[in-house]
Structure 1
């Protein structure tokens, strides 16, 4: 096979550097399933890794991209045949093995998901890690007895990719969603995705009390820090707060009161290392009863490999909105 293009990340004695390189399949990380890539996406981790602003990669060099979808061109695992449509999110991509920012990728069969029939390759990458994270949060919350009857779900960081997909997914599943965002100019767009109410985080005043009047049945928190500490006293009895981000900081102040008086639960959502049986369950939901209804609203930018540095810069500057799809070979 001839060489192909990939966005490759290095870090050595000369420092960080990343950009388009030519490589051959033999240079890819080991794995049983070689695919021709159709799409990837851009997540905050991708921007950190691609710019060197965060030490996401555990070894170098690697191709960036924690999401990938495409068609099998060769496989040593009998579960996958040439032409099969597949996807993979997290699972070491762009961390311990080459990711999706290349015209080809080699995947570990243990983490390769057959594309559900009700999803296209394009749709699967608009969803990507962001939507998978939101749906995994819902799955874990419902496993812990979250129901719409407990009250509305607060979604923080609502204008980001996880936030927008969470609004769509939770509302599709029958929950009333209250979107919390510092970008009031996007409130109309968030309502169009299914948010019943939009709350400006700049005007959201927490009392600082260990307990306050219950306002939310549960929450999906992308922010952490003071936001998480402020939300906990507002959760209804036996509600769940799923935490999946730390844009507001990794530490938060709280007390035991929401947990021992109201029975609230704090659930950690670690999507990158999710067990295979949970992955299969989440993707089946995403292709059926939880499938987002507004994917084309949520994807606000399509970019090629050459455009990635500019995309990363805008994301880290807080200028992105919704999801960015990376178009590598849409004819696959």
Structure 2
């Protein structure tokens, strides 16, 4: 038997509970993993609270990522004792995920634990840090250099935003952090932000074009925030969009794209090919300063993930929540 968060939807309603499960309850897959750490991400918060249509089958174990040790494998790629991580692939949505003490998954969804990182360090970075790294890689591919000017990071006090701020600063860029929590200004400066601006300056309807300011943007917010960010990007600049905390809508025009030639990169962290995943994690292992990461990430127990999911959706959580599933 093992513990897991289990989401059900039936005549009793929608609910998430801490449950005792058996290995026979687990879905099919080539690799059985003893989960050591998972995290509580925005998508997990939506799943646990039922605030968004994330869960596609019931019952469901949430948790879009995990790090652990292989217990059993029918795949030649993994042997018992191997340490592995998983991000995305629909786990926690259509397939049982990592907020449990055991998981059984497809071998192709796993990658080896990055060299130089422990399971806990890897999940301190987690899907949020990995997604931020994919955003950074898109801007690097675009050819962005620190000399181009300021980079805007929206939702900067959240998980993705915190890592985006740290990573871009570490790479020598001048980062301007946007947040609706002015009390987090000291924290954002600690991550490397040169300036912190109020979220309200971006989150309401704006003009199709604004004064050019940003060389690039990493956005995890969407809606008016993304539209206003695009409107102020410099000619031939770029935006990496990876989230929808404000909304799925994108109320803008083609003006920034056809008059300034900006590029919008959509960042999907769920189904990235293995080689790119490994490359992202290699860069994370080199760039992450764990004196800073430890300020971003906070550890909680499996049971605590359920009540804290509502706080996460409400924007009350700073940085990352690591879940030690074995306490």
Interval of TM-score (by shorter of Structure 1 and Structure 2): over 0.9
CA contact (8 A) 1:165 1:292 kept: no
Q: Please report how far the alpha carbon of residue 170 of structure 1 lies from its aligned counterpart in structure 2 after TM superposition.
A: 1.4
Q: Please report how far the alpha carbon of residue 291 of structure 1 lies from its aligned counterpart in structure 2 after TM superposition.
A: 6.1
Q: Please report how far the alpha carbon of residue 152 of structure 1 lies from its aligned counterpart in structure 2 after TM superposition.
A: 1.5
- Residue 294 of structure 2 is aligned to residue 312 of structure 1: no
The residue number in structure 2 matching 1:155 is 153
The residue number in structure 2 matching 1:192 is 190
The one of 171, 174, 177 equivalent to 2:172 is: 174
Structure 1 residues 136-181: Cα deviation after superposition (integer angstroms, max 9, x where no partner): 1111222122222221210001111111111111112222111001
Moved more, 185-194 or 311-320: 311-320
For 1:107 and 1:204, how far apart are their aligned partners in 2? 41
Q: 1:278 to 1:319 in 2, by over 3 A?
A: same
Structure 1: tracts of 5 or more residues without a match: none
Q: Secondary structure at the match of 1:36?
A: strand
- Residue 43 of structure 2 is aligned to residue 45 of structure 1: yes
Q: 1:255 to 1:224 in 2, by over 3 A?
A: same
Q: CA RMSD in A?
A: 1.8
Structure 1 residues 266-298: Cα deviation after superposition (integer angstroms, max 9, x where no partner): 111111122222212111111124666611000
- Residue 113 of structure 2 is aligned to residue 110 of structure 1: no
The residue number in structure 1 matching 2:80 is 82
Structure 2: tracts of 5 or more residues without a match: none
CA contact (8 A) 1:65 1:94 kept: yes
Q: Please report how far the alpha carbon of residue 72 of structure 1 lies from its aligned counterpart in structure 2 after TM superposition.
A: 0.9
Structure 1 residues 202-238: Cα deviation after superposition (integer angstroms, max 9, x where no partner): 3559894433332111001111111111111211121
- Residue 271 of structure 2 is aligned to residue 264 of structure 1: no
The residue number in structure 1 matching 2:132 is 134
For 1:208 and 1:187, how far apart are their aligned partners in 2? 25
- Residue 207 of structure 2 is aligned to residue 213 of structure 1: no
* TM-score for the superposition, normalised by structure 1: 0.93
- Residue 267 of structure 2 is aligned to residue 273 of structure 1: no
Q: Secondary structure at the match of 2:315?
A: coil
